Structure 1
Amino acid sequence: MDYLIRPVRADEWLRMKELRLVALADPVAPVAFLETTAQALVRPDSFWQERTAGVSHGTAARQFVAETPDGELVGTVVVLVEDIGAKDIFGVEITAPQAHLVGVFVRAEHRGIGLTERLFASAIDWAWSLDAPPVERVRLYVHEDNPRAQGFYRKIGFVPTGLTAPLDNKAGGVDREMELVRA
């Protein structure tokens, strides 16, 4: 099957809500996402509309999706551009222009065929294309109890930085930062 990897469109908010709910219902969701299904379900439509619009254009964030030939959205990754001096979601101050990958998900029946690699390639290429200022690294956090994801990230070139962030969500434990530095 030939999949299209592309940026999300603002008018696809309902489809993105559905994909997010599928992701949050995945068995690995407690260690992969900071949000729960219960939290997502009570969000108003305006939240999903604004969220999708905010990652559909501009240079602050971009969401990429994997789409089947019949139009089903089966995977996603979000790139957040983090400005120097800002604080990230864990309260750590940003000291260099960087991008942060979040919300990685591929539907179970479409895993193992290279979609995540293609989503990451599009997301990272987009981050490297930014020039005001140029992104120096792309990072992500992965839960200490998610060895499958850790292995995938290593396979595509991400390395642990040693930075950790304790979690106070249902899963607990810590997320470990990994990075890919611009060559």
Structure 2
Amino acid sequence: MNATTSGDYVIRAIRADEWEAVKQLRLVALRDPVADIAFMETYEDAVERPDSFYQERAARSAEELSGARQFIAEAADGVWAGGLTVLVEEAGTTDWAGFPVERRQGHVVGVFVRPEHRGSGLIKALFDVGVAWAWARERGAERVRLLVHEDNARAQGAYRKAGFVPSGVTVELEADAGKKEFEFVREWPI
């Protein structure tokens, strides 16, 4: 997939040799004030991972026919302003929460935009590229979904602006007793 320009940003898939930037963006994301409800990993866990973890993650994402792709928004000054990852889930399998996957779909994870780049429409541009990748003929996703913590109102608003709507599915969080995540979806075609 070629790069897409959106305003002052170039949105593109990462390259395998960019693993250090992948790691740095992840660490910045995990320092966000809502990281504890937005991500399933802590800063401490991420910083302890060996470089080989990030090298392998970047290499897998850079493979043209892989079932996962990480997209970033690169600002004119070279800073990675944000990113997201789309995983392809196959019909007939189960997802990470044990729910059956009924049709081929994209699953968006790791959504993050640096605070100084928020409110610029960047999140929608990132989603548009990620969703288009999932819907491409080679992957054939019938819909794209994501999960968002019930207390993360900022993210819920951003996802709605990007064309996602609540599906009515909720996932109870074992680690956060009594809390849940809501599934948001964007169906094909929009």
TM-score, L = length of structure 2: 0.90
Percent of aligned positions with the same letter in both sequences? 53
* 2:51 maps to which of 25, 35, 45: 45
* 1:87 corresponding residue in structure 2: 94
- Confirm or deny: 8 A CA contact 1:79 1:101 kept in the other structure: yes
Query: Which of 23-32 and 157-166 deviates more?
Result: 157-166
* 1:155 maps to which of 161, 166, 185: 161
Q: CA RMSD in A?
A: 1.6
- Is it true that 1:4 corresponds to 2:10 in the alignment? yes
Q: CA deviation at 1:131?
A: 3.7
For the residues of structure 2 that align with 1:4 and 1:55, how far apart are their CA atoms?
A: 18
Structure 1 residue runs of 5 or longer lacking an equivalent are none
**Residue 95 of structure 2 aligns to which amino acid in structure 1?**
D
* 1:122 corresponding residue in structure 2: 129
- Confirm or deny: 8 A CA contact 1:77 1:104 kept in the other structure: yes
Q: Helix, strand or coil for the counterpart of 1:25?
A: coil
- Is it true that 1:108 corresponds to 2:139 in the alignment? no
For the residues of structure 2 that align with 1:35 and 1:169, how far apart are their CA atoms?
A: 12
For the residues of structure 2 that align with 1:89 and 1:4, how far apart are their CA atoms?
A: 31
- Displacement over 4 Å in runs of 4+: none
Query: Which of 169-178 and 117-126 deviates more?
Result: 169-178
- Confirm or deny: 8 A CA contact 1:100 1:139 kept in the other structure: yes
- Confirm or deny: 8 A CA contact 2:123 2:162 kept in the other structure: no
Q: CA deviation at 1:147?
A: 0.9
Query: Which of 60-69 and 161-170 deviates more?
Result: 161-170
